[in-house]
Structure 1
Amino acid sequence: MERVSGVSCTVGESPTWSAAESAWYWVDIPAKRVWRMDASSGATRYWDTAEMAACVATKAGGGLIAGMETGIFSLELGEAQAASAFKLATPASGLGEGMRFNDGRCDRQGRFWAGTMFMDMGAAKAVGQLYRYDAGRGISAPFVSELLTQNGTAFSPDGRIMYLSDSHPQRRMVWAFDYDLADGVPSNRRVFADMTTYVGRPDGAAVDADGCYWICGNDGGCVLRFTPDGKLDRRIDVPMLKPSMCAFGGKDLDTLLVTSIVSGKPEDAEWGGAVALLRPGVKGVAETPFGA
């Protein structure tokens, strides 16, 4: 495992690979910061945002789409230190005080999916919802409601299965849905993995070329791989206690970038908040940019 030098995040999240730029992006949520790392040189830089950005995906033509505190935004990242942000949509019911978007990514057709959460996890308010946004139809009504801490959104290689997790300590569940490619509608929700029987909480996720689902075991210091039928077949221990999300990238899509969260525990002092790269021996699936 290789640590990305000079980077430490309070809540590192939402890594994504830009094939067009040969670069990685991720966010530090409370720092209101978007990070970028050039894959060839390893050079890093960041942009400040006016609101917390919790999830990002690349856009066709450049820039990012982001789920933030008050809605879905388009982010343009220029030479200035601050990102230019343009609000694209807000849920019809609004987000409400204490809410923000959390985890998100694009489906295989380039539609952006993101969910909301109540930021005070200790309150355990099941008010989170999952939305779809596309330029033609705008933001959808919520497809999933009563989530505590929405997370783990991912799609199978053929796009016909959508995954979703709830990482709250009281929930710790991963679901699978059938996914209509034409309409972008999930159905037939069922339990994919009951994480109460495994180490860690199910945080951000990725899917590999074999259709296996990789989920960060937050609080468990590991990344777990589940086969398409929901069987755990691999565990990779990482030096961060709270790995938060993973993503495949690199020229051959054979590198896994893992972000993490500072735990505040002495045993996590060196690696908590680190961003790391590892080679798991399998390849991922190219992500579709928003609007592609």
Structure 2
Amino acid sequence: MTAELIVDARNATGECPVWNTAEQALYWVDIPAGRLYRWSAATGQTQSWQAEEMLACIALHPAGGWLAGMQSGIFHLQPQDDGSLKAERLAQVEHARPHMRFNDGRCDRQGRFWAGSMLLDMAAGTAAGALYRYDGQLQQVLDDLIVPNGLAFSPDGRTMYLSDSHPSAQAVWAFDYDTDSGTPHDRRLFIDMKQHPGRPDGAAVDVDGCYWICGNDAGLVHRFTPDGRLDRSLAVPVKKPAMCAFGGANLDTLFVTSIRPGGDISDQPLAGGVFALRAGVSGIEEPAFIP
């Protein structure tokens, strides 16, 4: 299953791909650049818009545009014709320390928005990160995380997955999830990623309930069954795949964003690009935010 480069985006940290079914287009962000991107499946053309601070994760907003986790809080973003993003801050976050931002995030099956926070200095290895829920009010639900990542929900919404991608952690946990209250409980180890190639980064879930997660540093995207068994690993031509999402006309294409690190990357010239893979299975349409 050869990975096809669809956009040579050269993103510093390409993250949070979301397929917009109505537009048949893929959206994603470059976190440190604060840019939102759109790729049209019909035309192959790419557009982008600039935010005023780091932009980490997005979900469709019912009023148009995007709900977004950024540096200072949760925003409603609306792309403008001049390439800017009109931003309305809906909730300010009180980070545990200075120099933090939101990271991975998405909506649960009921339309609540979830996002994790982290120190900008990932190398510090400090567990200052937390996981937040936004449903009109912003509430911290979990803490003691270094780099929260891999957030995903089972098809029935009753299992929540969360990873910590810091090299000292490299774990994916599963939680029972109360769909009425939006509360995770009974946390347990789902995958010890130290037993598999790559650190656990962004994730997606397919119609079979299998969990797809990017193996950062290993150039792989892994599929795990609901009981935590490794089912398959697909290769991408870069070392740092960051997050994956299902899209395409039949939701059977796996799109993968990636990271373009500094230094000599002559061995991976496509780093920071966006790739498409035939995964052999369909995904689930991404829920929009429900205020």
Normalised TM-score (structure 1) = 0.96
Q: What does residue 200 of structure 1 align with?
A: 198
Q: What does residue 103 of structure 1 align with?
A: 104
Is the CA contact 1:155–1:207 (under 8 Å) kept in the aligned structure 2? yes
Deviation at 1:95, TM superposition (A): 5.2
Deviation at 1:265, TM superposition (A): 4.2
Per-residue displacement from partner, 1:10-44 (whole Å, max 9, x unpaired)? 11011011112211110011111110111211111
Query: SS of the counterpart of 1:196?
Result: helix
Query: SS of the counterpart of 1:81?
Result: coil
Per-residue displacement from partner, 1:205-262 (whole Å, max 9, x unpaired)? 0000000000000001100000000111111111110000000011210011100001
Query: SS of the counterpart of 1:143?
Result: strand
Q: What does residue 225 of structure 1 align with?
A: 223
Deviation at 1:60, TM superposition (A): 1.8
Q: What does residue 65 of structure 1 align with?
A: 67
Query: SS of the counterpart of 2:194?
Result: helix
Q: What does residue 87 of structure 1 align with?
A: 89
Is the CA contact 2:8–2:272 (under 8 Å) kept in the aligned structure 1? no
Deviation at 1:151, TM superposition (A): 0.3
Per-residue displacement from partner, 1:114-134 (whole Å, max 9, x unpaired)? 010011011111010001001
Q: What does residue 281 of structure 2 align with?
A: 282
Deviation at 1:61, TM superposition (A): 3.5
Q: What is the one-letter code of the residue matched to 1:116? A: S
Distance 1:60 1:8 in 2: 30
Q: How does 1:17-96 map to 2 (within 5 A)?
A: 17-91=19-93, 93-94=94-95, 96=97
Q: What does residue 129 of structure 1 align with?
A: 130
Is the CA contact 1:24–1:36 (under 8 Å) kept in the aligned structure 2? yes
Per-residue displacement from partner, 1:172-225 (whole Å, max 9, x unpaired)? 000000111111110000000000111000000000000000000000110000
Which runs of 5 or more residues in structure 2 are unaligned?
A: none
Which runs of 5 or more residues in structure 1 are unaligned?
A: none
Q: What is the one-letter code of the residue matched to 2:102? A: F
Q: What does residue 272 of structure 1 align with?
A: 271
CA, structure 1 residues 265+178, in 2 after alignment: closer, same or farther (shift >3 Å)? farther
Q: What does residue 209 of structure 1 align with?
A: 207
Distance 1:211 1:268 in 2: 35
Distance 1:84 1:236 in 2: 38
Query: SS of the counterpart of 1:54?
Result: strand
Query: SS of the counterpart of 1:211?
Result: coil
Distance 2:222 2:141 in 1: 27
Q: Would you say how many aligned residue pairs link Structure 1 and Structure 2?
A: 288
Normalised TM-score (structure 2) = 0.96
Deviation at 1:267, TM superposition (A): 5.0
Q: Which has the higher contact order (CA 8 A, sep 6+)?
A: 2
Distance 2:264 2:69 in 1: 29
Q: What does residue 184 of structure 2 align with?
A: 186
Q: How does 1:118-157 map to 2 (within 5 A)?
A: 118-135=119-136, 138-140=137-139, 142-157=140-155
